[in-house]
A and B are shown apart, each in its own frame.
Chain A
Amino acid sequence: MVKEVYQVHQFVELSGALTDFNALALNGTGQVNDYLHTLTNIVGEEIVEQLLSTFSAVYEASADETMFINGIRQQILGDVKLGPVARNLIKLWYTGTWYQLPNSWREGFGKSEQDTTFFVSSASYTEGLLWQAIDANPSGAKGPGYGSWSQPPRINFNNAWQFKPSTKFR
């Protein structure tokens, strides 16, 4: 239980760093558990653990944000094994879609039968972060109300993820 809670917490932090949405926004989609399950089911527990522990290590070792970003690029996004998985996670959060991993990855690290391109659920489509990013509703859901489209979008970054904020949110 404790381990699971910790894993979910780390997953949310990793997702936050990759997508630039804070934990409130990520939890606010209601998709955290479904996405973690999807990821684990397709790439396996071991790779998920490796991804999360690499993230933690980079996070802890980074004195500032520039160092952190470089660390993520070199040790996760630029890693042959972890890179495609992390990019899939970004796309998953932004669109609700799991994209089939690249063939080179599948040859090297295992072909799951579930590794096809699909929406995790009908809810995951409507919870894609891309829509929040541009202050729009997902096409076909959450209609913002008559005439709302006449006003400029209220794009803001208030719920952005923060690297080691001075007052750490609990």
Chain B
Amino acid sequence: MSDRVINSIEDLYQMLDAAVQLEHATIPPYLTALYSIKTETNPEASAVIRAVLVEEMLHITLAANVLNSLGKHPDFEAKDFVPSYPTYLPDGESEFLVSIDKFSSTTLDTFLQIERPSKWVPQLDSKFKGCVKRSNHHVFELKAVKPLKSSTYSFYSIGDFYEAIREGIEYLEDQANQKGETIFIGDPKFQVSNRYYYSGGGEVVEVFDKTSALNALELIIEQGEGHTHQIFNEQGELSHYYRFQQLKLGQYYQTGDSPDHPTGPKFEVDYKNVHPVKCNPKVADFPDDSELKQAALQFNENYQAFLSTINRAFRGGQEELIGAVCGMFRLKECASQLIRNPLPSNPLVNGGPTFEMRYDSIELKAKSIKTWETA
């Protein structure tokens, strides 16, 4: 049998769908950790997490553009698109769970796990590039991700996961070309452009063909895990793993450094100046009729409305992204408020955004972020 993970266009759709979910799944943990840091403290940690966070948003957009170029759309409203935390990640790293939690040394370790570089070595590993064997598929609570070709393999790193997608695109497009066809049959109008998408995290790539698709994936891989264990990419940007590692080591990398040995300016990471967010908070943790519970519910409703807006943006309404970004800023303020509020039952522990979505109400989907009010 083939040693490719992706062998059919269906496989590719599923993998890209999972990619969008994967990128999104990191956002609640990064966001919560970022806003658990007390205002005006820990400038280095805040800057690093923030930088990674905005690049994850870019990665969502890039993965979605690739999916749209194939004539499919990502579904941000799909049941269980937002995982229940703690969660495994959709690319299947099986030995660590990702939580919504305050910024801490442990949280940082998880972030390093999420962004860990590939360790795939051709000679030693399984026939599936970057895959590791596993037999516990059932523990993956990401119900929206169907098991791929093999239910016993998963990826060691996010980079490996994208390598598999890249390989699949090359293969499938090659097959299609031989028949005088292409897999890139999506309507270009669904491509989200830099006019509407923006962040400090880099420029979005519009995808029309194999080259642009590979460019988009390349950008995700470069920003995420980097290549061949180099700390800086060609643009002089640090990959996510090494950015987080700077916090672990309390020192910046500078040009010319080798991995694990930064020599730039040193700084202190202050784990004490952090709000004590309850790990993986749930609405059920907050007393009925408490202001905190109301606010948590309101946040979730707003977040779901935000995802609906994003969904429309990737289905031809990209001008909605401008407003969605403003919505994101409002969500940030609501999340900060939750993070700073003590639990009525235990003033030593604070609340936090729970990111629990409701999929039982149709009216919810119709809600636009324009109707939001601050909690």
The answer to whether A and B come from one shared complex is: yes
B15 close to A (CB within 8 Å): no
Q: CB within 8 A of B342: which of A27, A142, A147?
A: A27
Quick check: B291 and A22 within 8 Å, CB to CB?
yes
Asked whether A27 and B39 contact (CB < 8 A) given A5-B347, A158-B375, the answer is: no
User: Is the CB of A67 closer than 8 A to any CB of chain B?
Assistant: no
**Which residues of chain B are near A22, meaning CB under 8 Å?**
291
* Per-position binary interface string of chain B over residues 311-338, scored 1 when its CB falls under 8 Å from any chain A CB and 0 otherwise: 0000000000011011111100100111
**Nearest chain A residue, comparing its CB with the CB of B344:** A170
Tell whether A30 is near chain B: CB-to-CB under 8 Å: yes
A24 vs B325: C-alpha distance in the bound complex, in angstroms? 25
Number of interface residues of B (CB under 8 A): 33
A89 proximal to B (CB < 8 A): no
Q: How many residues of A contact B (CB 8 A)?
A: 31
The docked-state distance in angstroms from the alpha carbon of A126 to that of B323 is: 23
How would you classify the secondary structure of chain A's contact residues: helix, strand, loop or mixed? loop
B340 surroundings in chain A (CB, below 8 A): 27-30
Q: What sequence of 0s and 1s flags, for each residue 336-360 of chain B, a beta carbon within 8 Å of any chain A beta carbon?
A: 1110111010010000000000000
A5 and chain B: residue at smallest CB distance? B347
Complex-state Cα separation, A63 to B313, whole angstroms? 53
Return chain A residues, CB-CB under 8 Å to B198.
Answer: 146
Shortest beta-carbon distance from B299 to chain A in Å = 12
Cross-chain pair count, CB within 8 angstroms: 78
Cβ-defined partner of A167 (8 Å) among B39, B275, B289, B325: B289
**Residues of chain B in range 81-118 having any CB-CB distance to chain A below 8 Å:** none
- In chain A between 138 and 167, which residues have their CB closer than 8 angstroms to a CB of chain B? 142-148, 154, 156, 158-159, 167
Closest to A135 in B: B374
Given contacts A24-B295, A142-B329, A145-B328, contact A126 B39 (CB under 8 A): yes
Please tell me if B365 contacts chain A, counting CB pairs below 8 Å: no
- Contact (Cβ within 8 A) B336 A123: no
Q: Is A43 an interface residue (CB 8 A)?
A: no
C-alpha spacing A147/B195, complex, angstroms: 13
Cross-chain contact of A144 among B287, B294, B329, B372 (Cβ < 8 A): B329
B290 at the interface (CB under 8 A from A): yes
Q: Quick check: is A20 within 8 A (CB to CB) of the other chain? A: no
Contact across chains for B375 and A170 when beta carbons are under 8 A apart: no
Name the B residues within 8 Å of A114 (CB-CB): none
Instruction: Say whether A130 faces chain B, with CB atoms less than 8 Å apart.
Output: no
State A46–B337 Cα separation when bound (angstroms): 31
Write the nearest CB–CB distance from A134 to chain B, whole angstroms: 12
Which of B289, B326, B375 touches A24 (beta carbons < 8 Å)?
Answer: B375
Query: Looking at the complex, which one of B39, B329, B374 makes contact with A123 (CB distance below 8 Å)?
Result: B39
A45 smallest CB distance to B (angstroms) = 20
A-B contact pairs, 26 of them (CB 8 A): A22-B291, A23-B341, A24-B294, A25-B337, A27-B337, A27-B342, A28-B336, A28-B340, A28-B341, A30-B275, A30-B340, A121-B40, A127-B39, A144-B330, A145-B328, A146-B198, A146-B326, A147-B322, A147-B323, A154-B372, A154-B373, A158-B374, A169-B289, A169-B290, A169-B291, A170-B289
Known: A27-B337, A28-B338, A122-B40. 14 other contacts (CB 8 A): A5-B347, A23-B291, A23-B341, A24-B375, A27-B342, A28-B337, A126-B39, A126-B40, A144-B326, A146-B198, A146-B322, A147-B326, A154-B372, A158-B373
